[in-house]
Chain A
């Protein structure tokens, strides 16, 4: 029987080979930065992702590869940590999210920047679950089934929510359709 190399790494970490965890950090740090940065204020991203890894390490004995993939388990921790961070900052952060073009400013003309601003606003107004679904599907390319696992939602709900999110974003872009 073929074993998943990732599960072998996890087994070694569980057996006390702490340094093996570095492979997992290197593999998942970029996607976790992307996911968290699109769910919370970018200023807090590094701390949150670090917390995700520390939590994953301390809880790794609870991870059972027969019950799901490590990736979705890790993303679920990230999603929960991001939600906690948002709750701490409450409404103030929610308002700031509307202008979270706090990454590099988009290149391009005024029209592009305005369209981006509208999309950022539309994203900021989404319900947290919808936002997670959008980030996992559209930015990380996860399948419906994987998203359902992260969000603990039925497959059909994920599909309908994602459809609704895309519709909202489409509406935000409506003025730029001509």
Chain B
């Protein structure tokens, strides 16, 4: 490929040109220090994902239950005798 076309190497060089922001290392280390600080030790990094997933599922479960109750409420209202009378 290299011998076949000069564009190819030029293009690969172009695709390698990505600059890492200067603040990047400091940002990553800051996140890690916060996550590993003694006051946050009850919630280490690997637990954060698990906990946020748990919260999402709980919220979804709550919403489903609310929906079911709402449907039951509507059905119960429709079944009331005065609703059946003309």
Q: Given that A18-B36, A57-B32, A169-B1 are known contacts, is A106 also in contact with B14, CB under 8 Å in the complex? A: yes
B84 proximal to A (CB < 8 A): no
A115 proximal to B (CB < 8 A): yes
| A147 to B84 Cα, complex, angstroms | 71
For chain B, the count of residues having a C-beta within 8 Å of the partner chain is: 29
Q: Given that A103-B18, A106-B14 are known contacts, is A58 also in contact with B31, CB under 8 Å in the complex? A: no
A177 proximal to B (CB < 8 A): yes
* Residues of B with C-beta under 8 A to A49: 24
Query: Which residues 126-170 in A have Cβ within 8 Å of B in the complex?
Result: 138-139, 166, 169-170
Is there an interface contact between A19 and B8, defined as CB atoms closer than 8 Å?
no
Chain A interface category by residue count: 35 or more
B4 proximal to A (CB < 8 A): yes
| A53 to B45 Cα, complex, angstroms | 11
A37 proximal to B (CB < 8 A): yes
* Residues of B with C-beta under 8 A to A21: 29, 32
Is there an interface contact between B29 and A37, defined as CB atoms closer than 8 Å?
no
Choose among B10, B17, B18 the residue that contacts A112 (Cβ–Cβ < 8 A): B10
| A49 to B46 Cα, complex, angstroms | 17
| A57 to B35 Cα, complex, angstroms | 10
7 nearest interchain CB pairs?
A58-B45, A115-B7, A58-B46, A37-B18, A33-B18, A53-B28, A119-B11
Residues of B within 8 A of A (CB): 1, 4-5, 7-8, 10-12, 14-21, 24-25, 27-29, 31-33, 35-36, 44-46
